Amino acid sequence: MRQPITFAIVFIIAFTTTLGQSLNNDTSKASNKRGVLPEDTEAAKALARLGDLSPTALRERLQQMRLPAYQADAIVVKTIIEAQGLPVISGKQVDQLKAVLQPVLAYHGRGQMPMYVLRAEQPKAYLVNRAVIIITTRLLEVASEAELRGIVAHELAHEYVWVERAEAKLANDEKRMREFELFCDAVAVFTLKEIGDDPISYSRILERLAQSNTVAGIMAGNTTRRDAYTHPSLGARKKLIKFLCQPFE
């Protein structure tokens, strides 16, 4: 984790010596310009779930992977919110936030997903039981609108691997759990591209949160000490995001 210089060198080499290769041996003309992720990395395995990275293929793939939208009833949502033990914020600012995030929810077929803002010092967003998205006031203070969209896209991406991730968690399979986090990062980057945001903004907010030592906080729920093992390093995440910011037409 704490090898920024080494990492930067490896990163530069990886992105300057692999011209002409492509992740999935696709022979489209754009592939000559692409960087490539080393095979057998968690990032490469995460992307293998998505297959062809062209926008058209990715759209189709996400459609295939998407679970039927789960609409929790009001009592379930209320129970979840009360269990957080944090004050609920409402009003015009929250309404505006919902409007700001609506393109992300709509993109993933989750336009009706309940969303709550809770007052908390830790900058966090998380998806609970596929039922409700929770965002803290502190996150609203530190993230731009595009950055919030990226974070919420990551949270919604968890739905695509919901069952498998639960199995990995049960089995304490930390490697697979890191793969799922990278998968969600990939979906976040793709979502931002699709809705017209700058996808690198997602990298920026991850970095900012890491600098304030709270990067685990943006992961889906269950923030525990074990997050250090179940979540990839910031370096791995940034590398994947940069790779995906290339065009894949």
Contacts of 81 (CB under 8 A, 6+ apart): 88, 116, 118, 132, 134
Contact yes or no for 153/93 (Cβ under 8 A)? no
Nearer to Zn ion, 147 or 181 (CB): 181
Least separation, in Å, of the C-beta of 51 and Zn ion? 21
Least separation, in Å, of the C-beta of 57 and Zn ion? 23
Nearer to Zn ion, 58 or 156 (CB): 156
Least separation, in Å, of the C-beta of 68 and Zn ion? 21
Least separation, in Å, of the C-beta of 157 and Zn ion? 8
Applying CB under 5 A, among 215, 219, 236, 244 the residue interacting with Zn ion is 219
Whole-angstrom distance, CA of residue 168 vs CA of residue 240 = 21
Nearer to Zn ion, 54 or 233 (CB): 233
**Residue 143 contacts Zn ion per CB under 5 A:** no
Six token digits for residue 115: 């969303």
Strand pairing class (115-118; 132-136): parallel
Six token digits for residue 201: 């903004």
Give CA angle at 226 (217, 182), nearest 5°.
Answer: 65
**x-marked contacts with Zn ion along 156-195 as a string, rule CB under 5 A:** -------------------------x--x-----------
Whole-angstrom distance, CA of residue 205 vs CA of residue 146 = 10
Contacting positions for Zn ion (CB under 5 A)? 181, 184, 219-220
